Chain A
């Protein structure tokens, strides 16, 4: 039960983007199309799973005083693996994400989960948390990127959805488009949560 909770945590209650507001840098930079959002999400998912597994395994070996540098080295190792692998197999996506792949190292989502969670709990719980957080981050990126691509290009995942007559919103492809979309999504989600709270209060 607790494993399921650890997993579900990242999907909604403590959603890394919409609840914790972590990882804003890649979020704003690479979410111009759903494909890039998904690629960034999967790259982060891979790193967070590997990092949480390794750190949970070695958590008792690492002295407290050097834990942060150790975590960073472990995270950076997996990020660099992604950085080498991506251009070898998906050169176009690697080109588009460019600098934001190495920057996953500094994504505070990963360090925060590793420090606050993986370094304190068993392997099973760490994996559940990493999956939840990684998938949560990915769906957040895909949602934001999907909205931006739909309004900015009329397509989602490169598939034309809105008709030729739709005047595409150029601003959606630019950084302000990311802020505007994120702001609106945050407002909607906060509203949903507030309404839910109200309901539970009325019921009780």
Chain B
């Protein structure tokens, strides 16, 4: 009993002392750490905007904007983030709001592969952005460096988002912010748009079927270049035509495989009857044919295979008198 008591007392004393010491250390260091963080941020702002006056911070939609004046110009900076190869890539983008130009960008945080992806911090990559006008896309303006495609594209996407946000919130233009919906949110929106509120959900031949009174949606995935490509499509029962298609989830190479998620590629599927399968062609697609995207062949095939598989299931369902 005495020994037990001693153990309790000793451990209590040790933890108590430890707590006291740490509280004291925290009290001393917390303001210092905060000052360091502010200094680092101010330094980052200076890196992209240079010497400015009237620097102020503004928070719009939970995002921090740094607004300032430089000579007679209004300038702004903010940090945006995009998914790179090793994790998020955070980029601080400095823009001249008056002339609608990018002034300078700086990668503030990343976990890209040393020696490969780290090129995004270097002058030979960053220089491409200097002086570019405000645009929706910078894919054609910036040279992507071999061996670091994913990291470079991440920076480009972050810059695109930053420019869009500046145009929306500072210039008050109407622009679409590239939004990342989760697959579940996309599915929900897709079903609400095409199928409606009332539907029956069941599984059939590896596909999930959402059968509504007028429209059937089918969801499934096929193996792409890197991982499964999850696609959902909607077919009108009356006309047998495909009326909507969306890629819900994919892990394809950013900048190469991911055009399969874009409107340009997906619109060619619209209007096709499920009686006929799609074919992939290399050029000049006619109805019933889908043009292969260069550099994204495997990814495109995954979508086409899934659509053809869904059509087959639909034909079987029709033959079975299920609708």
Interface of A toward B, CB cutoff 8 Å: 32, 61-63, 65-66, 69-70, 73-74, 76-77, 80-81, 84-85, 87-89, 91, 152, 168, 170-171, 173-174
Judge whether B317 is part of the interface by a CB distance below 8 angstroms. no
Give, as a whole number of angstroms, the nearest-CB distance from B17 to chain A. Answer: 8
Residues of B within 8 A of A170 (CB): 113-116
Assembly CA distance A80 to B23 (angstroms): 10
Which secondary structure dominates chain B's binding surface? helix
Question: Is B265 part of the binding interface, using a Cβ–Cβ cutoff of 8 Å?
Answer: no
Q: Are B18 and A88 in contact (CB under 8 A)?
A: no
Q: How far is the CA of A173 from the CA of B114 in the complex (A)?
A: 6
A and B contact pairs by CB, cutoff 8 A, 14 listed? A62-B10, A66-B10, A70-B14, A74-B14, A74-B18, A77-B22, A81-B25, A85-B25, A85-B29, A88-B36, A91-B40, A170-B116, A173-B114, A174-B115
Q: Which residues of A contact B37 (CB under 8 A)?
A: 91
A71 to B302, CA, bound (A): 57
Chain A contacts for B113, CB-based, 8 A? 170, 174
Chain A residue with the shortest CB-CB distance to B147: A170
Query: CA of A68 to CA of B15 in the docked complex: distance in angstroms?
Result: 13
Question: CB of B32 within 8 A of chain A?
Answer: yes
Give the chain A neighbours of B22 by CB distance below 8 A: 77, 80-81, 84
B73 close to A (CB within 8 Å): no
Q: Fill in one digit per residue for B136-163: 1 if any A CB lies within 8 Å of its CB, else 0.
A: 0000000000000000000000000000
B7 touches A65 (CB 8 A): yes
A32 contacts B29, CB within 8 Å?
no
In the complex formed, the residue of B with least CB distance to A74 is B14
Q: B262 in the interface, Cβ–Cβ < 8 Å?
A: no
Partner of B18, one of A77, A84, A85, A87: A77
Q: In the bound complex, how far is the Cα of B115 from the Cα of A32, in angstroms?
A: 12
- Which of A66, A77, A87 has the most CB atoms of chain B within a 10 A radius of its CB? A77
Interface string of B98-125 (1 = CB under 8 A from A): 0000000000000001111000000000
Q: A-contacting residues of B (Cβ < 8 Å)?
A: 3, 6-7, 10-11, 14-15, 17-18, 21-22, 25-26, 29-30, 32-33, 36-37, 40, 113-116
Q: Is the CB of B36 within 8 A of A174?
A: no
A91 to B43: give the CA distance in the assembly, Å.
Answer: 13
* Interchain CB contact under 8 A, A77 and B114: no
Q: Is the CB of A73 within 8 A of B14?
A: yes
Chain A residue with the shortest CB-CB distance to B118: A173
- Other than the given A88-B29, A88-B32, A173-B115, 19 more pairs (CB < 8 A) read A63-B3, A63-B6, A73-B11, A73-B18, A74-B14, A76-B18, A77-B18, A80-B25, A84-B25, A85-B25, A87-B36, A89-B32, A91-B36, A168-B115, A170-B114, A171-B115, A173-B114, A174-B113, A174-B114
Residues of A within 8 A of B3 (CB): 63, 65
B17: which A residues are within 8 A, CB to CB?
77
Q: Which residues of B contact A77 (CB under 8 A)?
A: 17-18, 21-22
B7 touches A66 (CB 8 A): yes
| A152 close to B18 (CB less than 8 A) | no
Residues of B within 8 A of A152 (CB): 114-115
Alpha-carbon separation in the docked complex, A171 to B113 (Å): 10
| B contact residues around A61 at 8 Å (CB) | 10
Cross-interface CB contact of B10 among A63, A76, A88, A89, cutoff 8 Å: A63
Residues of A within 8 A of B32 (CB): 88-89
Complex Cα–Cα for A121 and B14 (A): 20
Neighbouring B residues of A88 by C-beta, 8 Å: 29, 32-33, 36
Rounded to whole angstroms, the CA-CA distance of A87 and B33 in the bound complex is: 6
Q: Provide the bound-state CA to CA distance between A80 and B30, in Å.
A: 13
Distance between Cα atoms of A63 and B11 in the complex (Å): 9
B273 to chain A, nearest CB (A): 52
Task: A73 to B17: give the CA distance in the assembly, Å.
Answer: 10
Q: How distant is A54 from chain B, measured CB to nearest CB, in Å?
A: 10
